Homo-oligomer: A and B are copies of this chain.
Amino acid sequence: MIPVKNNYQFEDMLDKHQLKKTAPRLRVLSMMYSKNTATSQPDLENVMHDIDRVTLYRILNVFEEKGIIHKVFDLDGTANYAVCHSDCEANHHHDEHVHFNCTVCKNVYCLNELSLPSITLPAGFKPESFTLYASGLCPKCDKKNSVK
């Protein structure tokens, strides 16, 4: 589980990556760290009406470049962003974990605690990273389903 962070820690994170500590960036960080699912740009737009769409777009881009967040696609192909492990560097992500796409609520969960089993590819392929996508029912939607 990702440890909860306070505002000072978010400021430190921006500092570390030579990014100015601006209100929009701090709000985006705090929102992303408060959830255990990935966040899409529309998600952010729905909550932060006062921040320009283009600003959010650019914040997501720099955060990804700097290795603060990483991109995953949901079942519809929309980009979702989730906070990275501590060991991600700028432009070099190490997200060897499992992503779970819920077919009902469409949320994307990063199951960081699961490590991937190793796998051998056909001759010639030189893999640099792996991600396993599982899709199905997340705990919440499974519960709702069985109650009915």
Contact = CB atoms under 8 A, between A and B. Distances in A.
A57 interface: no
A61 interface: no
A interface majority secondary structure = strand
Interface residues of A, number: 35
A142 interface: yes
A134 interface: yes
A135 interface: yes
B135 A129 contact: yes
A117 interface: yes
A74 to B, nearest CB: 10
Contacts of A143: 124
Interface in A87-145: 98, 100, 103, 109, 111, 113-114, 116-117, 119, 121-139, 142-143
A82 to B, nearest CB: 15
Contacts of A121: 98, 100, 111, 114, 134
Interface of A: 71, 73, 77, 79, 98, 100, 103, 109, 111, 113-114, 116-117, 119, 121-139, 142-143
